[in-house]
Amino acid sequence: MQENLSDARLARLGAVVVFYHPDAGCIDRANRLARWCRCVVVDNTPTREESERIGAQLDDAVVYLPNHANVGIATALNQGIERLIADGYELAMLFDQDSESTLELISGLAGVLRASIARREPVALVGPAYEDARLRGLAPFVRFGYFRLQRVMPAGDAPLDVDFLISSGSCVNLACWRDIGPMDDALFIDFVDTEWCIRAKSRGFRVLGVPWISMTHELGEAPVRAFGRNYPMHSPVRHYYLFRNAVALLKRGYVPCTWKSTELIKLPVRLVIYACFVPDGRTHVKMALRGLWHGLIGRLGPLA
For 63-114, the pLDDT digits (tens) are: 999 999 999 999 999 999 999 999 999 999 999 998 989 999 999 999 999 9
Of 126, 108, 121, 107, which is closest to residue 164 (Cα–Cα)?
Answer: 126
Task: State the SS3 of the chain.
Answer: CCCCCCCHHHCCEEEEEEECCCCHHHHHHHHHHCCCCEEEEEECCCCHHHHHHHHHHCCCCEEEEECCCCCCHHHHHHHHHHHHHHCCCCEEEEEECCCCCCHHHHHHHHHHHHHHHHCCCCEEEEEEEEEECCCCEECCEEEEECCEEEEECCCCCCCEECCECCCCCCEEEHHHHHHHCCCCHHHCCCCHHHHHHHHHHHCCCEEEEEEEEEEECCCCEEEEEECCEEEEECCHHHHHHHHHHHHHHHCCCCCCHHHHHHHHHHHHHHHHHHHHHCCCHHHHHHHHHHHHHHHHHCCCCCCC
The one-letter code for the residue type at 297 is I
User: Is 65 within 8 Å of 38 (Cβ atoms)?
Assistant: no
Query: How far is the C-alpha of 30 from the C-alpha of 95, rounded, in Å?
Result: 10
User: Is 42 within 8 Å of 76 (Cβ atoms)?
Assistant: yes
- Phi, psi (degrees; rounded to nearest 5) at 264: -65, -30
Query: How far is the C-alpha of 114 from the C-alpha of 143, rounded, in Å?
Result: 24
pLDDT tens, position by position, 217-275: 766 667 788 777 777 788 999 999 999 999 999 999 999 999 999 999 999 999 999 99
Domain limits, the chain:
8-216, 221-297
In this structure, the strands spanning 13-19 and 91-96 are parallel
Please calculate the CA angle 95-301-245 and round it to the nearest 5 degrees: 75
pLDDT at 219: 65
Query: How far is the C-alpha of 217 from the C-alpha of 163, rounded, in Å?
Result: 19
- Domain covering 8-216, topology: Spore Coat Polysaccharide Biosynthesis Protein SpsA; Chain A (3.90.550)
Average pLDDT, rounded, for the chain: 93
Q: Is the pLDDT of residue 21 over 70?
A: yes
Query: How far is the C-alpha of 71 from the C-alpha of 75, rounded, in Å?
Result: 6
Average pLDDT over residues 159-167: 97
Contacts (Cβ under 8 Å, ≥6 apart) of 11: none
Residues present in the chain in total: 304
Task: Tell me the pLDDT band of 1, cut-offs 50, 70 and 90.
Answer: very low
pLDDT at 224: 82
Contacts (Cβ under 8 Å, ≥6 apart) of 260: 249, 250
Of 149, 126, 151, which is closest to residue 140 (Cα–Cα)?
Answer: 151
